[in-house]
């Protein structure tokens, strides 16, 4: 059994929840952070911090809780939201929430992790293939996810000498609540779902646990020489080129 702790933000559902469960089962002491308490039964080795990632106090509380459980050696910045709109239609109501959660929340998480792990550890931030290729009506979301890639790289440069590694995962089309909400908001939900399902070379959606398995790897010593890297987990979507959306 491992004797170390990890913080996971956005842990109430999707990739964050899958990551929390996977790590807890692997022996990590997990601090799961989300703005609301998740549905479902409690899971051994997982402590909850209910808070907003836009608030530095949430990250401080998560770090403190983790340190009380076991030495803090991992941090996963996963919390994010998506509000669809092209550039010509965005308002501050589109910009501020996404920038505050996706960008500021991750910045604060990186800052808290760097402060709380002076002897080293691993930070994994979750971006998206939106950082690499364009999708309709994702102007602000794509901008925030591109920034997360740059942020993770910079954290690696600034703290690599002290033993802190920082990498970023870029998922493709993953079957999460956020993805399903985007289908519901689309003009043709069935067409939107079919487009997502056809992105990957294996012609299916990815699962949250498939992304969580990569995050787990990046947190462990098995990935000790990987630092400052962007790891794409998209079933080959960006390798073939994105041709599923009518632009």
Active site residue 159: no
Which of 28, 139, 141, 159 is catalytic? The answer is 141
| Residue 72, helix vs strand vs coil | strand
Distance in angstroms (rounded) separating the CA atoms of residues 144 and 130: 9
Q: Where are the alpha helices (DSSP H) in the chain?
A: 14-25, 56-69, 92-98, 105-116, 139-159, 177-185, 189-197, 208-219, 237-240
Burial class (CB in 10 A: 0-12, 13-18, 19+), 221: exposed
Question: How far is 231 from 226, CA to CA, in rounded Å?
Answer: 10
Q: Half-sphere exposure of 71 toward its Cβ, with a 13 Å CA cutoff?
A: 9
Name the nearest CA neighbour of 212 among 102, 145, 147, 126: 126
Residues tagged active-site = 141
């Amino acid at each position: 059994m491992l004797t170390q702790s990890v913080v996971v933000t956005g842990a109430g559902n999707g990739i964050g929840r899958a990551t929390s469960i996977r790590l807890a089962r692997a022996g990590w002491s997990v601090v799961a952070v989300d703005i609301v308490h998740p549905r479902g039964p409690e899971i051994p080795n997982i402590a909850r911090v209910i808070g907003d990632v836009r608030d530095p106090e949430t990250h401080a509380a998560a770090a403190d809780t983790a340190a009380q459980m076991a030495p803090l050696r991992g941090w996963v910045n996963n919390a994010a939201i998506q509000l669809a709109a092209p550039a010509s239609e965005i308002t501050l109501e589109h910009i501020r929430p996404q920038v505050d959660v996706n960008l500021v929340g991750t910045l604060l998480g990186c800052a808290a992790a760097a402060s709380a792990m002076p002897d080293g550890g691993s930070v994994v931030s979750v971006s998206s293939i939106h950082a690499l290729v364009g999708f309709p009506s994702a102007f602000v979301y794509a901008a925030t996810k591109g920034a997360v890639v740059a942020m993770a790289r910079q954290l690696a440069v600034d703290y690599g000498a002290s033993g802190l590694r920082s990498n970023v995962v870029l998922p493709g089309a993953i079957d999460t609540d956020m993805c399903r909400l985007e289908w519901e908001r689309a003009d043709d939900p069935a067409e939107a779902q079919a487009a997502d399902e056809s992105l990957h070379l294996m012609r299916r959606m990815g699962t949250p646990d498939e992304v969580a398995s990569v995050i787990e790897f990046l947190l462990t010593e098995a990935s000790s020489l990987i630092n400052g890297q962007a790891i794409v987990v998209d079933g080959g979507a960006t390798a073939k080129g994105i041709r599923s959306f009518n632009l």
